[in-house]
Structure 1
């Protein structure tokens, strides 16, 4: 039951954005920067962002060497370059919007662990650097054999180390807290606990239905990544669950920074003297293509085993916490940033790179919405 006052003043907006993660908040902030008079509502089905924005590992990635080489097997060179450029632009926008200190951003580069089977990738390092030379201020990748000597990894598995000069790390919680504060400061409304059950487009507006209330706006942006398919089943979006664990503090931990291996399917970092380690969805692609935010015992076991045998072979550790987040993928790693219809817009399928892509995806989507308003 709604009052006259509620119907008059609390249900109608100029733009409604579904999803309060990185992309959703970035879309809202970008809209407000260009059209400060617009009344904007961001709706989030959970009390906190539901997907991966607050559940990731805090990597600011443009792509590891073996990951980019793998992408070149399924995508044209120009598309791979454009995707790396999108990640780079997104990170630059995020940093300029938030400020490095407000999310503890550190661009100290990253390292990729190279196994025996991946050694041929080193022969293509110069070619990949040349491919990316037009969009980066210097060579993306460099051998890092001297650094490998002091990091304590199992040399039976790790045969070489490659440095990525333009990746960084950040504090995910501080990043999202700051984006939320910026949105609030600009007069953007954020409503949490809003489970959207459907959207209906009419000639003049879009109705956004929840279990109790229907909101309306001339334009709606769907920024719910893997969860977008529940509202628009025709989308070519496949969820991908990412599982993570974090150790107790490790005495004598010999490395800092962020690391990848196995084409980016595994990733770890030092965090307050602990090791945060995630990945393993490549062990069961079909089983991990789910929006169920849960843990799978076999993948958690795999992460612990790789910690013991590859990352920390000579050190004792315990597991302090575990969690999972939901990413979104498609036939290629290209995100979907486009109008879906006359009044519904999409910024979804971030390909596991939401931190890097989300800000620029939101800026681009806001531009599309403003041009057609």
Structure 2
């Protein structure tokens, strides 16, 4: 890349902290670093024109787990770990709302619902463990979180009762990331887009970074690339593609709130009188373990089928857009926030809960700096 003396001097010299990834985690990390070290020179490198992972591509659920999802978590995690996971998500959502303000993210607490198949026994399982989960979470919420309500939305081919979570909310993902980016830039933090970090090497006092555009050095490197973290040597994180579609506007769309199916592997909501529907990773876990942002016919056909048979059974609709985002997952749901080496740190593996915990993980990543 043909850089001038001025460009190198102003953007790429005497960098105190370089953050890889301009998503929720990276931007919040930068804000926390600036609060702690007001005179520090902070640079954020982003591989895409916009944040490339999931921060601008998610469904905008301000959630902390559906009833069936939390019951599923208890099969592989202890009660103590599940409680701490939910607490972290609640704390993260509070930090997001406090940092930006509800108006700037269009936060609305309309509640969250869960649809159940009539045949897989998941409703009965949730009903039998509802008391256990509510008891587990009562110290956080001071009242019951999960209840059941009749299906009044006209959904078909599902159980006549829906799970309900009064504390679940929703946001406008685009407004959130726009507000967060503007706040970061207002602090004098620099963001360079379309810069892919290809490798780095640690010296005695600095980290040398090689990108597809230039090379530079920094005093500290902080990795906040979540689903892309394995590219930079964080092997505990696997990419997980989330495919999404959205309909064209639908007249008299009476669906309000956020909705989950099949332990959270499918999710939908009303945004601007359209249905946004995503998920289906459980149809092909191995195939969706990719950083490729394309869509597949198998999952997109399943999403359309859900719209036709369950969500909008008597309402004509047209698909307006399709896209994908890349999440970071692993064998456990706890995020990885750690010091990798002397001057390299990471905050990754958000497990599909980026909106909920991204702000907090960004803060925790910055707080690793001594």
* TM-score range normalised by the length of the shorter chain: over 0.9
Pick the aligned partner of 2:21 from 19, 22, 28. 19
Q: Which residue of 2 aligns with 1:347?
A: 347
Pick the aligned partner of 2:117 from 94, 115, 118. 115
Give CA deviations for 1:67-87 in whole Å, capped at 9, x if unaligned. Answer: 000000001111111111111
Check conservation: 1:267, 1:278, Cα contact below 8 A.
yes
Distance 2:4 2:184 in 1: 28
Measure how far apart 1:10 and its partner are.
3.2
Measure how far apart 1:3 and its partner are.
5.2
Pick the aligned partner of 2:144 from 139, 142, 145. 139
Distance 1:137 1:219 in 2: 42
Check conservation: 1:62, 1:166, Cα contact below 8 A.
no
| Within-5 A mapping of 1:25-64 | 25-64=27-66
The structure 1 segments of at least 4 consecutive aligned residues displaced by more than 4 Å after TM superposition are 1-9
Given the alignment of the two structures, is residue 220 of structure 1 paired with residue 217 of structure 2, yes or no?
Answer: no
Aligned length: 365
Shift of the 8–272 alpha-carbon distance from structure 1 to 2, 3 Å rule, reads closer
Check conservation: 2:196, 2:213, Cα contact below 8 A.
no
Check conservation: 2:44, 2:192, Cα contact below 8 A.
yes
Distance 1:52 1:158 in 2: 31
Query: TM-score, normalising length from structure 1?
Result: 0.95
Shift of the 270–212 alpha-carbon distance from structure 1 to 2, 3 Å rule, reads closer
Check conservation: 1:115, 1:160, Cα contact below 8 A.
no
| Within-5 A mapping of 1:85-124 | 85-116=87-118, 117-120=121-124, 121-124=126-129
Measure how far apart 1:284 and its partner are.
0.3
Check conservation: 1:109, 1:165, Cα contact below 8 A.
yes
Q: Which residue of 1 aligns with 2:175?
A: 174
Supply the RMSD in Å over aligned alpha carbons.
1.3
Distance 2:297 2:6 in 1: 51
Check conservation: 2:195, 2:213, Cα contact below 8 A.
no
Measure how far apart 1:123 and its partner are.
1.4
Residue segments in structure 1 that go unaligned for 5+ positions in a row: none
Measure how far apart 1:159 and its partner are.
3.4
Question: What SS class does the counterpart of residue 133 from structure 1 fall into?
Answer: helix
Check conservation: 2:11, 2:190, Cα contact below 8 A.
no
Give CA deviations for 1:130-179 in whole Å, capped at 9, x if unaligned. Answer: 0011122422111112xx1x20000x323321111221111111000000
| Within-5 A mapping of 1:305-324 | 305-324=305-324
| Within-5 A mapping of 1:1-373 | 5-11=6-12, 12-116=14-118, 117-120=121-124, 121-145=126-150, 148=151, 150-154=152-156, 156-232=157-233, 234-369=234-369, 372=370
Check conservation: 1:196, 1:209, Cα contact below 8 A.
yes
Give CA deviations for 1:89-128 in whole Å, capped at 9, x if unaligned. Answer: 0000000000000111112221111223212211111110
